[in-house]
Amino acid sequence: MKLHFKSSKHKQAVILFEQLVKRYGQNSLDTADVIVALGGDGQMLSSLKESIEFAIPVFGINCGHLGFLMNEYLDTDLNERIHKAETAPIHPILMQAIKSNGQTHEALAINEISFLRQTHNAAHCQITINNKIELERLVCDGIMVATPAGSTAYNLSAHGPIIPIGAELLALTPISPFRPRRWRGALLPATSIVHIKVLSPDFRPQSVTADSIEVRDIEEVTIKQASHITLRLLFDAGASLAERMIKEQFLA
């Protein structure tokens, strides 16, 4: 099996990178069968985006802290582990953002696309789903659209729902909502088109972030699933992402 290793800058990841390249060799991305990402979930997200061009799966090895999307490090045959690994197919989401100055930006997100207020003023925004206004005015610190893969990340910390892998759903989750005070968000079909319009953008500026790509001073954003792109995460047999997400719901 031809492997291409990618490492974060963490010391442990760099050391492991050198060891594994010496043991298994380093293949170029255009000839590799699998990307092996060394680090934490940030490195996994970066490697997954890089895998799109080459249509190859990614096997992660945790060298960071939580590493929810990663496998644990084991001193066993890596080729055999990958051969026996289970695949978790996921779709990213695409944002099309328009800034207050008219500039447009596009970016893919694997975990979530999140809006946040830029100043001390609360964010005011209007939520439209499939060309129908569902919420005239949301007053909050922010709001996000999360994928199933990202539902256990920022979405969960904002009290959003955990979505099983394979469920054709997206989570629309407010961040510290003030009005409507009791609104806790919504689960949307994955085919939904979400449009968020910033109200009073000059007085209440907002930014939008697709995973790690931030665009500031936005006026409106459209978000939809990039169903034509399928990313493949590899997990050790018996430790699939679906099983981890079930377990996460029973943690105290």
- Give the residue from 121, 208, 139, 207 showing the smallest Cα distance to 177: 139
pLDDT at 66 over 80: no
Residue 219, domain extent? 93-225
Residues 194, 104, single domain; the answer is yes
Model confidence at 238, pLDDT cuts 50, 70, 90, reads confident
- CA 129 – CA 127 distance, rounded (Å): 7
Q: Do 214 and 240 lie in a common domain?
A: no
Please indicate, yes or no, whether residues 104 and 120 belong to a single structural domain of this protein.
yes
Residues 8 and 82 in one domain: yes
pTM here is: 0.90
Residues 117-160 have pLDDT tens digits of 999 999 999 999 999 999 999 999 999 999 999 999 999 999 99
CATH number, domain containing residue 31: 3.40.50.10330
What are the DSSP calls for 126-168, one per residue?
A: EEEETTEEEEEEEEESEEEEE-TTTTTTHHHHTTPPP--TT--
pLDDT of the residue at 252: 65
Query: Would you state the pLDDT for residue 179?
Result: 94
Burial class (CB in 10 A: 0-12, 13-18, 19+), 27: middle
CATH number at residue 135: 2.60.200.30
Residues 221, 108 share a domain: yes
Sign of CA dihedral 6, 11, 14, 16: negative
For residues 218 and 99, membership in a common domain is answered with: yes
- Indicate whether 76 and 132 sit together in one domain: no
In this structure, is the dihedral angle defined by the CA atoms of residues 165, 17, 77 and 23, taken in order, positive or negative?
positive
Are both 83 and 119 inside the same structural domain? no
Burial class (CB in 10 A: 0-12, 13-18, 19+), 207: middle
- Residue 182's pLDDT is what? 86
At 26 the pLDDT is 97
Q: Which pLDDT belongs to residue 251?
A: 79
pLDDT at position 84 is: 94
Average pLDDT over residues 241-248: 83
Q: What is the pLDDT of residue 64?
A: 73
Mean pLDDT of 12-16: 95
What pLDDT digit, counting tens, does each position of 214-229 carry? 999 999 999 999 999 9
Q: Are 75 and 134 in a shared domain?
A: no
231 confidence band (pLDDT: 50, 70, 90) = very high
For the stretch 154-196, pLDDT in tens is 999 999 999 988 889 999 999 999 999 889 999 999 999 999 9
Q: Any idea how long the chain is?
A: 252
Give the tens place of pLDDT for each residue, 68-106.
899 999 889 999 999 999 999 999 999 999 999 999 999
22 Cβ contact list (under 8 Å, min separation 6) = none
Same domain for 98 and 49: no
Q: Are residues 156 and 97 in the same domain?
A: yes
Same domain, 62 and 162: no
Name the band, by pLDDT with cuts 50, 70 and 90, for residue 239.
Answer: confident
Q: Which residues are catalytic?
A: 41
Q: Structural domain tally of the chain? A: 2
pLDDT band at 246 (very low <50, low <70, confident <90, very high): confident
Give the mean pLDDT of 238-242: 81
Per-residue pLDDT at 243 exceeds 90: no
